[in-house]
Amino acid sequence: MQRTLFNEDHAAFRESAKAFVERTITPNVEKFIEQRVIDRDVWLEAGRQGLLGLEIPEEYGGSGANDYRFNTVFAEELCRVNAAVASSLGIHGDVVAPYLVDLCTEEQKQRWLPGMCTGEIKTGIAMTEPSGGSDLAALKTNAVRDGDDWILNGSKTFITNGYTADMIVVAARTDPSKGARGITLFAVETGMPGFERGRKLDKVGQHPSDTAELFFSDVRLSQEHMIGEEGQGFIYMMERLPQERIGGAISNLAHAQGVFDETLEYVKERKAFGQAIGKFQHNKFLLAELRTKLDVSQAFIDTLTMQHVRGELSPVEAAQAKYWSADVENEVIDACVQLHGGYGYMTEYRVARAWMDARVTKIWAGSNEIMKELIGRDLGL
């Protein structure tokens, strides 16, 4: 399908992103899977290539692109090789960066943004808690005033980049009497007394992306570690979740597209009963259906991506994009596993790893059920 949202600048950037992926990611995927973390050298090289600061102004070392289509291109090229690498780098550049660019003081920006652009400061964001799941308004992690400082206590779980991040944006309750309007964001840095990490969590998939539990025991934070205004954290998160969700949708489809393309080549070469398995009517019809569903979904996501570029993407549309793309991704990749037969169940094959990697996309960034709840409410139900 011919796509219309990109121009010549995006095409040139895609070639650069593709070269970075082929040189830095593709040869090392197996190693990243085995060690359950992406080497810091990858982050530093991405920084040198100007790939980590697409959302960050030039005065802080970023590209200052101010065009989410560049983020889209980078995510697509990463996902064609490995979804977990895309999610790890995406949390850093797509999710955390806007919080710091939009909400931080000048001093805070000078402290963190240049290192984010070079890859010397790796970041994550800690919203999810063991008891809360997708319910961000039910946070139990709390911060209590102590003079001019804050004392942070609590825990977070399922935090991408959590095991190795140098700085993590943490959502904490600062006024229990105000419900969702009593949540504040803080920056917690490696080495702060009382800040500890659990083990790297043993996930079903997404192995190159390090994920961890975080524990805060009387972590003392100065006022300079507060991000934005006190009590505005929930609003800040709600304002920025649409970008996280459209970013997830872009990655979901790119991941499915990459696996589909590989599977299409496989069914042309793999033979059974004297002919290529793609020639059997059932398989031919199945691939025709998947091709059409991918193209229709791509047109939908591209349209919403352009709305986001123009600042017009609504939270409900972002929820639609997130849930639909995750469902399509899982449907396509599951079918591709079946088409590979027994080989599709072997982790040495990309399709098997992609199948494991894809399953979480129906859970994270707000479960698909929560997305449907948001859409249903918008329908007046």
Point out the residues that are catalytic. 244
- The helix (H) or strand (E) run that includes residue 41 is helix 40-48
Give Cα separations from 274 to 267, 269, 284, 314, 339 (angstroms). Answer: 13, 12, 16, 52, 16
With 0-12 / 13-18 / 19 or more C-beta atoms within 10 angstroms meaning exposed / middle / buried, residue 145 is exposed
Q: Residue 154: what are its φ and ψ, rounded to 5°? A: 140, -165
Beta strands in the chain (DSSP E): 123-126, 142-146, 149-160, 167-173, 183-189, 195-200, 211-221, 226-227, 271-272, 275-276
First to last CA, the chain: 36
Dmax (CA) for the chain in angstroms is 79
The Cα 71–Cα 301 span in angstroms is: 14
Tokens standing for residue 178: 């105000």
